């Protein structure tokens, strides 16, 4: 399921961000500013992954009947009129 992939991406990104920010805090306390710079890059990458996951989550809601990507939330597909079950 693509939806599951999006959720896993978001969860992984959040995990990376939290871990990285903790490490960054420790390095700031240690005065390890090279390490802080590396952590800043990792945090930026994690943030991008989070945005990508959120975009996937929003974009990949598909009609189970005709397979088209649904642009709006609703109970019925605007393309084929088939019933679309919620989350
Ligand atoms: Zn449809």
Selected residue with higher pLDDT from 87 and 75:
75
How much distance in Å is there from the Cα of 5 to the middle of ligand 1? 22
CA distance 25 to 53: 25
How much distance in Å is there from the Cα of 81 to the middle of ligand 1? 6
Q: HEC states along the chain?
A: CHHHHHHHHHHHHHHHHHHHHHHHHHHHHHCCHHHHHHHHHHHHHHHHHHHHHHHHHHHCCECCCCCCECCCCCCECCCCCCECCCC
pLDDT at 87 over 60: no
Per-domain residue ranges of the chain: 2-59
pLDDT at position 66, please? 93
How much distance in Å is there from the Cα of 83 to the middle of ligand 1? 8
How much distance in Å is there from the Cα of 61 to the middle of ligand 1? 11
The string of pLDDT tens digits covering residues 7-65 is: 899 999 999 999 999 999 999 999 999 999 999 999 999 999 999 988 887 777 788 89
């Amino acid at each position: 399921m693509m939806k599951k992939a999006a959720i896993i991406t978001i969860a992984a990104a959040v995990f990376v961000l939290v871990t990285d920010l903790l490490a960054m805090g420790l390095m700031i306390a240690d005065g390890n500013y090279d390490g802080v710079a590396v952590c800043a890059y990792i945090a930026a990458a994690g943030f991008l992954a989070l945005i990508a996951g959120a975009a996937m989550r929003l974009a990949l809601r598909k009609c189970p009947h005709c397979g088209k990507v649904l642009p709006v939330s609703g109970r019925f597909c605007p393309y084929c009129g088939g019933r679309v079950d919620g989350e």
